[in-house]
Amino acid sequence: MDDIRYDSLFIGGDWVRPSSDARITAVSASTEEPIGSVPEAQEADVDAAVAAARRAFDDPAGWAHWSPADRASALDRLADVLERRAEDVATRVSAQNGMPVAVARQLEGSFPVVLLRYYAGLTRESASEETRPGLFGGDTLVRREPIGVVGAIVPWNFPQTLAAFKYAPALAAGCTLVIKPSPETVLDSYLLAEAVAEAGIPAGVVNIVPAGRDVGAYLVAHPDVDKISFTGSTAAGRSIGEVCGRLLRPVTLELGGKSAAIVLDDANLDLKSVAEKLFTATLLNNGQTCFLGTRVLAPRARYREIVDLFTDFAGALTVGDALDESTQIGPMATAAQRDRVERYIAKGKGDGARVTIGGGRPAGLDRGWFVEPTIFADVDNNHTIAQEEIFGPVLSVIPYTDDDEAVRIANDSDYGLGGTVWTSDPDRGLALAKRVQTGTIGVNTYLPEPTAPFGGVKASGIGRELGPEALVNYQQLKSVYLG
């Protein structure tokens, strides 16, 4: 990939000079080579971005006051531009964070487009106010008003999709945004900025400040921000939640996960038919996906068979350069991320779990932060590798005796974000899914659905994204009592 260089920041609808010479270098996870660089936003740039978002929001004839139909048309235009540039988006994301390009095309390239069109449709359909007859006489006008300036902080694992989880409903609701991409994935954020400009979204409605965590923390506490929407680690989420609590600032937190993939004793896991769904539910994006069922719960009566099945499944995956069309497992996003995954693999071995496949670095891939797809058998749910989020292609197969024990183990986790139940009896699967403490769960499948709320319980977060429910994150209610 050519060296990509940007010298400005997208603030106030314009390409502006950054306040300092500091830069962020984007590095290919597959080759470890630099592939581009962008200015690193500083606090002064965040001030400028928030001021632009504030002006755009407070403008009495501005975005917040546009008719829903006009805002919806703008969202559709943005979707059209992003759809045209989907291949560039997919390639840039894949080059930076190591997401296999085929996955990046399906998710990073197309999910934002789908979301924008979905929220455009909702905006057209849903009334922002209703009149309710009162019990004490007069009517009340109940209004849903946009909440204001949103600080949106996104991680590197699905940088475009997770940004769209925030900006699509926020824009639909009439908010303005300052988006802070993660330093590991900055090049794709410029494609979004260009698309915003080309789609004619008014100046200041979307501003983008690529930067690290300190500048992120500055944005979270900025006095002119009305709402924070964060996706990332539980540790960062706790700290952001504390700050927002002190400021009484509304916050949505999408955090980590350690979900259970519960294989029931009647499951028919014929890899020829289920491999793709199993992959999405357990190993998508090199295991660097928050909702994955990385604890595979297997009935004791079929334990060996299921360990063998997952061993074959992991062993058949093609590991390679993320930009190679045939790659199913690319590298970890950063050297630090690979170190972390390798530390967990060592810890799992040290705690007595048994590696049935993988556990090292793949042969023949000397450049790039690769880790072999790894299956651990004989894992106890109390083991560190079963309790902490590894964020790599590492699955733990944990035995259980009956359905009640499966549910107990699934719920014995600090987290509660995703999960799956695999069974040949969908009713039984649904009954069991209802007992798992989690924000989302699939029966014989898993993929976040744009029309349904997505988010976590316990340490996986507070609030929901997607679906009509996500609009509420970006609205506040006002009751006007009519005399």
Closest CA to 160 of 202, 227, 97: 97
DSSP 356-394: EE--SPPTT--SS-----EEEES--TTSHHHHS---SSE
Which of the stretches 32-40, 88-96, 135-143, 252-260 binds ligand NAD when contact is defined by CB under 6 A? 252-260
256 binds ligand NAD (CB under 6 A): yes
Rounded to the nearest whole angstrom, what is the least distance from the CB of residue 8 to ligand NAD in the complex?
Answer: 20
Number of helices (H), then strands (E), in the chain: 15, 23
Q: Of 108, 184, 290, 465, which is the active-site residue?
A: 290
> Among 94, 97, 110, 157, which residue sits at the site for ligand NAD (rule: CB under 6 A)?
157
Rounded to the nearest whole angstrom, what is the least distance from the CB of residue 76 to ligand NAD in the complex?
Answer: 25
Question: What residues have CB less than 8 Å from 148, skipping those under 6 apart?
Answer: 57, 175, 176, 225, 226, 227
232 binds ligand NAD (CB under 6 A): yes
Q: Is 290 a catalytic site residue?
A: yes
Q: Tell me how crowded residue 447 is: count the other CB atoms within 10 A of its CB.
A: 14
Q: Where on the phi/psi map is residue 81: left (φ > 0), alpha (ψ -120 to 50), or beta?
A: alpha
Nearer residue to ligand NAD within complex by CB, 153 or 269: 153
> Among 233, 384, 387, 437, which residue sits at the site for ligand NAD (rule: CB under 6 A)?
233
255 binds ligand NAD (CB under 6 A): yes
> Among 94, 110, 182, 294, which residue sits at the site for ligand NAD (rule: CB under 6 A)?
182
Nearer residue to ligand NAD within complex by CB, 146 or 257: 257
Distance CA 54, CA 225 (A): 8
Do residues 226 and 148 make contact, with C-beta atoms less than 8 angstroms apart? yes
Site string for ligand NAD, 279-318 (x = CB under 6 A): -----------x----------------------------
> Among 100, 257, 320, 359, which residue sits at the site for ligand NAD (rule: CB under 6 A)?
257
Tokens, residue 273: 């038919």
In this structure, what DSSP letter does residue 316 have?
T
Q: Length of the chain in residues, anyone?
A: 483
216 binds ligand NAD (CB under 6 A): yes
Q: Alpha-carbon dihedral of residues 289, 468, 82, 52, nearest 10 degrees?
A: -100
Q: Alpha-carbon dihedral of residues 446, 451, 452, 455, nearest 10 degrees?
A: 80
Nearer residue to ligand NAD within complex by CB, 37 or 231: 231
Parallel, antiparallel or unpaired: strands 149-153 and 176-180: parallel
438 binds ligand NAD (CB under 6 A): no
Tokens, residue 321: 């350069």
169 binds ligand NAD (CB under 6 A): no
Distance CA 251, CA 185 (A): 23
Nearer residue to ligand NAD within complex by CB, 144 or 258: 258
Parallel, antiparallel or unpaired: strands 374-377 and 394-400: parallel
461 binds ligand NAD (CB under 6 A): yes
Nearer residue to ligand NAD within complex by CB, 61 or 248: 248
Nearer residue to ligand NAD within complex by CB, 198 or 388: 388
Closest CA to 393 of 379, 380, 375: 375
Rule CB under 6 A: which of 389-408 touch ligand NAD?
389, 391
Do residues 285 and 158 make contact, with C-beta atoms less than 8 angstroms apart? yes
405-419: b (≥16 Cβ within 10 Å) or e: ebbebbeebebbbbb
Query: What H or E segment, with its residue span, contains residue 409?
Result: helix 403-411
Which of the stretches 4-12, 110-118, 259-267, 456-464 binds ligand NAD when contact is defined by CB under 6 A? 456-464
Q: Of 83, 108, 184, 254, which is the active-site residue?
A: 254
Which of the stretches 90-98, 249-257, 301-309, 397-405 binds ligand NAD when contact is defined by CB under 6 A? 249-257
Closest CA to 313 of 363, 273, 360: 273
Do residues 209 and 41 make contact, with C-beta atoms less than 8 angstroms apart? yes
146 binds ligand NAD (CB under 6 A): no
Please count the residues of this chain forming the interface with ligand NAD, following the rule CB under 6 A.
Answer: 30
417 binds ligand NAD (CB under 6 A): yes
> Among 162, 278, 309, 379, which residue sits at the site for ligand NAD (rule: CB under 6 A)?
162
> Among 254, 321, 342, 372, which residue sits at the site for ligand NAD (rule: CB under 6 A)?
254
236 binds ligand NAD (CB under 6 A): yes
Amino acid at 12: G
Distance CA 464, CA 172 (A): 16
Rule CB under 6 A: which of 320-359 touch ligand NAD?
none
Do residues 180 and 209 make contact, with C-beta atoms less than 8 angstroms apart? yes
Q: Is 244 a catalytic site residue?
A: no
Nearer residue to ligand NAD within complex by CB, 181 or 358: 181
Cα–chain center distance at 140: 38
Closest CA to 378 of 396, 360, 390: 396
- Ranked by CB distance to ligand NAD, the top (closest) residue is 216
Nearer residue to ligand NAD within complex by CB, 77 or 92: 92
Nearer residue to ligand NAD within complex by CB, 307 or 470: 470
Rounded to the nearest whole angstrom, what is the least distance from the CB of residue 339 to ligand NAD in the complex?
Answer: 13
Interface contacts to ligand NAD, rule CB under 6 A: 153-157, 162, 180, 182, 212-213, 216-217, 220, 231-233, 236, 239-240, 254-257, 290, 389, 391, 417, 456, 460-461
Active site residues: 254, 290
